[in-house]
Amino acid sequence: MARLFDSYVMVAWSAASKPATGADSIWIGALTPDSRLKLAFKASNPPTRAKALEELADLLGRCLKRGDRVLMGVDFPMGFPAGASQSLKLKGEPWRAIRDFLLKEMKDKPDNTNNRFALAARMNRLMSEGPFPFWGCSKKDELTTLSVRKSREHGPGDIGEFRTVETIAMDTRKARPQPVWKIAYAGAIGGQTMTGIPAMARLAEKVPNVKIWPFDLPLARLDNEGLGDARVVIAEVLTTLNSASQQASEIRDEAQVRTLCEALAERDVSGKLGALFAGEARLTEEQKRAVTSEEGWILGV
């Protein structure tokens, strides 16, 4: 059975405010055909997001020049809980509106310094006029609209703390996700989302025929016909969804991107990868609309 993809690239992202390598930094894992067309893995550990984007553009460019179709996974949410765009008073399709907002307002410099705390405070002011729903920062970054700790719980009239996919992942015990509103401390995913969404938009400007699932492609079982002219498909992944067999020379993050590349390639070879793009079969039509217009989904949940 023909594979859907020729190459597999997995990215462990980081919102670090200064250059960093090693554990808890950016790792790019690439499982691509060698000169004998046998899949071979290679990892890199760029110190900054700017450098990572350069490497990814070069890597994807080489893959496309060879005629590959590439599946690229990123380990951060590609969207926010339903209602975020409306709360920010943005116009247009929710996901694209937030993407364009972050493209304009997220200042991420080549040395990794960024304005995520100031921007989260501004977004809180627009959404609630107080330190909600974003939270988490050092004392020096604390503002009237951004608190060091979570200011309060999410109530019935508030925007959700978690996206649909995260709620289902917790209910089925597939994962214990962090809320996208948490932008500091261990496991914080919010900063990665704020820096990652505009970074992927900039990458798509440099690389042709990039589709971001499930916004540019359907939340449905994918086959070659359904992929259409897509040459690079970017999907949100969870690097902890598969058990990582860490080799002696590897650190955890490196092992996770490698094993995820290998696991997805194995599914592709067996014809089981396309089904992962359908998401959860029990979703209601309302939930599907939220997923495909604003929230996004995690491949494999």
**Per residue in 168-193, pLDDT tens?**
999 988 788 899 999 998 888 999 99
∠ CA 63-68-73, nearest 5°, is: 75
For residue 15, what is the enclosing H or E element?
Answer: none
Radius of gyration over every alpha carbon of the chain, rounded to an integer in angstroms:
19
∠ CA 57-59-64, nearest 5°, is: 90
Give residue 11's pLDDT band: very low, low, confident or very high (50, 70, 90).
very high
**Predicted pLDDT of residue 173:** 81
Identify which of 97, 73, 70, 92 has the alpha carbon closest to the alpha carbon of residue 209: 70
**Per residue in 55-100, pLDDT tens?**
999 999 999 999 999 999 999 999 999 999 999 999 999 999 999 9
Give residue 35's pLDDT band: very low, low, confident or very high (50, 70, 90).
confident
- Neighbouring C-beta atoms of residue 268, cutoff 10 Å: 20
Q: What are phi and psi of 285, to 5 degrees?
A: -60, -35
**Predicted pLDDT of residue 98:** 98
* CA torsion angle 193 64 214 172 (round to 10): -70
**Per residue in 103-160, pLDDT tens?**
999 999 999 999 999 999 999 999 999 999 999 999 999 999 999 999 999 999 999 9
Q: Is the confidence at residue 163, as pLDDT, over 80? A: yes
- Neighbouring C-beta atoms of residue 223, cutoff 10 Å: 12
- Do 301 and 168 touch, CB atoms closer than 8 A? yes
Q: What is the mean pLDDT of residues 211-237?
A: 97
**Predicted pLDDT of residue 1:** 62
**Per residue in 237-276, pLDDT tens?**
998 766 667 787 889 999 999 999 999 999 999 999 999 9
Q: Is the confidence at residue 6, as pLDDT, over 90? A: yes
Cis amide linkage into residue 47, ω under 30° from 0? no
Helix 190-206 / helix 49-66 crossing angle, nearest 10 deg: 40
**Predicted pLDDT of residue 145:** 97
Averaged pLDDT score across all residues of the chain: 95
* Alpha helices, DSSP H, located in the chain: 49-66, 84-87, 94-105, 116-128, 164-171, 190-206, 224-227, 252-269, 285-290
- Do 197 and 49 touch, CB atoms closer than 8 A? no
Tokens in use for 229?
């002219």
Query: In whole angstroms, what is the distance from residue 38 CA to residue 269 CA?
Result: 13
